Structure 1
């Protein structure tokens, strides 16, 4: 279920991008997974909102009389300035951009899409919806889910599977509960200036990238221990762990996991991250204060490396489990990855 007009059957693990699919001549770009976010960000305006998304199908072979199960599926979406298509086949993933819809809907890599011998096997609009995301969030989603490296399969990971996921991500992103992150970009500032609230992981990746400069490097990493409830007098068994990074610009970032969400906060005043979470006091008392659990110099890496470690292929985003995949597991995994081996406690 892959035919879109291609002649190759070798899966490339690359994205093919045609930025001017409506022009008679134009050069496309081959982009690897490692290049995906930076290269596309330089080629397009990633801040554009996706206003509408459409799910299309067309037959695989010209002799078909039905489009029921044997069909290719692809997505077309619209931003303020462009029409786009995105699809997967046994070559890889293709994105096309055009000023008119026909060049991406009726054409694949400048060749007419396959149609059948009856009217029911034309290019068919299956579903459409308003968009709920930005272009950079879609790019982050493609990278995060590792779709370029994910091998094509006839019965699984095929064009239909890919189109289903992309359509859902664009149309329903704000209702995908597994992606929720509470983010506060200035936790030590008045709430009206911090842009705090729940966002998707894909939006978080873009906002952290924008907030942390290319010269901002991690210098220290700490795990802090806090009680679960304010009435606890012992924290030997029941406790919550969270991580705080310090950068060379004296900015502090906290990140932690809860049963239903992640929380990430940024501040110049580290004390706020210790005493408050999501603008509420942390549960602590004289017997069980918030205290340092582990501390070390950090590997000198940008904060984006932390984001990549956590969310590439949802590495640390498996289903929460109170015993085996909780705040302790999360904090220790991040700490072990980014401490440089030189303990400072």
Structure 2
């Protein structure tokens, strides 16, 4: 299949009529998306507790998150092919079901089981992320940028709630592994709601297939942008809370700092893609998101606890960078390619490489922490 920049005719072409109402698809997508960060956002506030319980190093603790993120990359690459036998909508439900199953497996509080369950969670998230992009392109093409921002916001809300309640849940439920496993419940409930919706799409509906766009310059640019944004996201998601615990913050206060990081991403995820789509100024809004992330990261490294105001401003700037960057990358792919198959293939390539590279960030930061005994070198990696 030949790839090219989509012209005005391609962007405005009327897609085949969807058998589902847009409102129904939107509600289902938002419910499913809420589960695509929760299992991984619950780990960082409990990382030091789990590390002490399991008797592992910081590098090994970082590898838990790294293994999940790298499996997200594998899932992203395979998603378009896996969607073929079931159809994109049914395959999306199955992928989120895999996320729920991986969360249940986290009940076993041993290191090999934690790695295996994290990989299962990551694979399901990677597949679901690409399929959601294709479902949005097929059913909600007229508002792809706005809807993509909404689905990312739903992920962020799930991650925020998880960050806030992870430590209290561990206390109430009797251990960190129970706190990680409880997030299977909303995942399986979301699948139960989505499945009757997905069944309304005929299995015979052929959405087409497309190979990964290896020779398309635009796809590689989008991939590089998604990779660097993802490195920022997963590096801070894993180590922001432990970093401030290292500086003397109580675990619950550090978890609240991470929750602010998640909350502050929401307006950026909503506004930046919508404004970029309306004005067709993708480069301007992307550059602004990068500069915000750079300023926040540099501030947290050089002056982690400013007098009076504390680190909250740095955290907000970091959040704007990663909160806007991810949906901007997905939105410009959806806008650029003419159909769900090509948009899904390009999204799979961008997220696949992005997650594989981003998966190295938590691991490398943990290894550098072990080697240097402090956070300056690991945080410099994010710059």
Query: Which category describes the TM-score, using the shorter chain as reference length?
Result: under 0.3
Q: Give the TM-score normalised by structure 1.
A: 0.27
Larger radius of gyration: 1
Structure with the higher strand share, 1 or 2: 1
Q: Give the TM-score normalised by structure 2.
A: 0.25
Structure of greater relative contact order (alpha carbons < 8 Å, 6+ residues apart): 2
